[in-house]
Amino acid sequence: MPSTAHDYHSPNGLIERSVALPSIPHGSYSKKDLEQEAKLVAMDFYSEKIALSPKTWSTSPGTMVRDLSASTYTQSSYEDQFKGKAVPKGVKKAAVFKQSMNEANTSGTFSPSALLYYHLSRYFDMSIDVPVAIYREMDSKAHYQRVTRRGVAQTRTGMIAAGWQHLAAAEKNPNNFKAAASLFTPDRKKIYGCMLKAKGERYGAELNGVRSRWGTVQNEEFQRTAPYLALSSELPLLQAITEGKKQAFKNSKIRQATLDASPFQMMYWMKELTEIVLLDFIFSQQDRIGNIDYEWRWYWLASGEVKSQAADSKLSRTQMGSIKPPAEIAGLSPQLLQRTCLNDNDAGGRVPYVNFAKKTGMLQKLRHFSADIYKRLLLLNNDLQDSGEIFQYLQNNFLLDSAQLNQIVKNTRLAKDILQDTCSLGKLQFDLDAPKDYLLTGRVKLTNLACG
């Protein structure tokens, strides 16, 4: 069995915990999930083959973990020399370590959020790729010397600079930091957070929308993309797809970014969007739009089965014509699809965060859904309302206070009520369980399901 926990000793004599949380009851974890958990747990920040550098782009501070084993760099030479996103030849992007930071003028970051997304996505057995995440601690003085002071020196303005400045002040004097419990272990000698490795490229307007302004506006614009408009249509699935594209393509930016997405692509997008909206609603995510990523995959038929494999490309959708299939499948008429990765999940879980999925009525608009996920939602709600095994699991493993846990319980109940009401009105079609089967049969499978 892969190791699920490891203790590391800092130069100051502190013991740092690196832990893969227990699996959620009734969750579906792949062999790759467990292997990735073990790989993350095994990363020793003090090994000469591991370097740490500050994340100095975007809006929130974090620690980039680099693997030097295939390079000629030492830990100190790399950390002294390299800044920003640049990664020299031979150095691998191993992971990112992120702590909570929610001070004035900073971007909201709550480290348990990524852990919640990982494990709840496995409970629902979702099709989106949510990265494996583990719990990690680090000696705060060592983190300040190797990372934070460099983050302060390398940033000048904006939320990213404010984040590093607040983190520096906290690590220098933990007892004066009001939110110490969200950043430090109880002895106030170590910071804690989550560690994960993300993959994929950022979607354009085809899924993130046109994003004219942050907040409510971009969340409403997100609902005017082709797959979301199709989800909002009461027409049968294939007709809803046609209508969704027709309405969305009235916006030239959406039309240009989406191209003429096939029904197969649209089905996957639609299923993935329902999963994103459900998780974001439950966890009160406030920073989703613009933070949805993709990877390319080839799909084809062979011996009466649907096969797929990753396409090694970082090109955007508007450049997809340049992505050629491998020679061994080129004669099988493969289809190239964007599959969704949900990497940036650190702005959920806190009560003060704005739940934009709730605020803009995202769940109320859905007319197509997965029967399996719906059934799992009903079971999850029953468990949380009865303080069952999943409630106990959340309470015992995620460092949530009572208000944060109660918010998850409340949001899950409300999500269930919204979808159940739509179902009871006869307006929710359970037709998104098996997009892959459409490539094989050319038909949409509709599941008859009691609303519960």
Report pLDDT digits (tens) over 106-140. 999 999 999 999 999 999 999 999 999 999 999 99
Question: Is the pLDDT score of 84 beyond 60?
Answer: yes
Give the whole-angstrom CA distance, residue 363 versus residue 317. 27
Which of 80-84, 153-157, 274-278, 330-334 is the least confident region? Answer: 80-84
Other Cβ atoms less than 10 A from the Cβ of 246: the count is 12
Question: Is the pLDDT score of 82 beyond 80?
Answer: yes
Q: Strand pairing partners for 138?
A: 191
State the pLDDT at residue 1.
40
State the pLDDT at residue 3.
61
Report the interhelical angle of 263-283 vs 237-248 (nearest 10°): 80
Write out the E strands in 91-173: 92-99, 133-139
State the pLDDT at residue 95.
98
> Whole-number mean pLDDT of the chain?
97
Domain ranges, ordered by start, for the chain: 5-196, 201-293+341-452
Give the whole-angstrom CA distance, residue 399 versus residue 381. 21
Average pLDDT over residues 294-314: 96
Contacts of residue 119, defined as CB under 8 A and 6 or more positions apart, other chains included, come to 21, 23, 24, 27
With residues binned 3-state (H G I as helix, E B as strand, rest as coil), the percentages for the chain, rounded to 5, are 45, 15, 40
Report which residue type is found at 173: N
pLDDT tens-digit readout, 27-52: 999 999 999 999 999 999 999 999 99
Average pLDDT over residues 344-369: 98
State the pLDDT at residue 440.
93
86 pLDDT band (50/70/90 cuts)? Answer: confident
| Percent of the chain topping pLDDT 90 | 98
pLDDT tens-digit readout, 209-237: 999 999 999 999 999 999 999 999 999 99
State the pLDDT at residue 59.
93
| Percent of the chain topping pLDDT 70 | 99
428 pLDDT band (50/70/90 cuts)? Answer: very high
pTM over 0.95: yes
pLDDT tens-digit readout, 386-401: 999 999 999 999 999 9
Question: Is the pLDDT score of 335 beyond 60?
Answer: yes
Question: Is the pLDDT score of 2 beyond 60?
Answer: no
